[in-house]
Structure 1
């Protein structure tokens, strides 16, 4: 099974409201997570190789938001691969 990697585009299902599906980009994965940043408390750790930190894109002025330590899955608050065209 393919692991997510930094720079890949995923889909993220929101945790609140309508559980909107948004495009997101991986900002850190198990290979690129900065251990010094984790040690200093500047970056949250990842629970597994299937968890990622994301930037979630949103329409409107805000443009997006961070989500940390996001697991793969179909439930709200999870990421999944976009369908292949």
Structure 2
């Protein structure tokens, strides 16, 4: 599987409710994650090179939300490449 990289668009399957699939952008990958931010607890670490931090886009006034350390897959709470 191709590793996620910062700035790329992926699809994220929600963890709750309808588990809707939404567009998301990779905000950090293993190469761009700030180690000082992890060290001070400002941002969570990534468990593997295939995990990513995401900004998930939503319709409506809120606009979106962060998801951290998201693994690839097809289950709720995972990301995958657009078809």
Unaligned runs of 5+ residues in structure 2 are: none
What is the rounded CA distance, in whole Å, between the counterparts of 1:3 and 1:44 in structure 2? 18
Instruction: Let me know the Cα RMSD of the aligned residues.
Output: 0.4
Length-normalised TM-score, structure 1: 0.96
* Equivalence for 2:53: 53
Q: Counterparts of 1:1-85 in structure 2 under 5 Å?
A: 1-83=1-83
Task: Detail structure 1 runs of 4+ shifted over 4 Å in the superposition.
Answer: none
Residue 40 of structure 1: how far off its partner (Å): 0.4
What is the rounded CA distance, in whole Å, between the counterparts of 1:2 and 1:74 in structure 2? 15
Length-normalised TM-score, structure 2: 0.99
Residue 61 of structure 1: how far off its partner (Å): 0.1
The number of equivalent residue pairs is 83
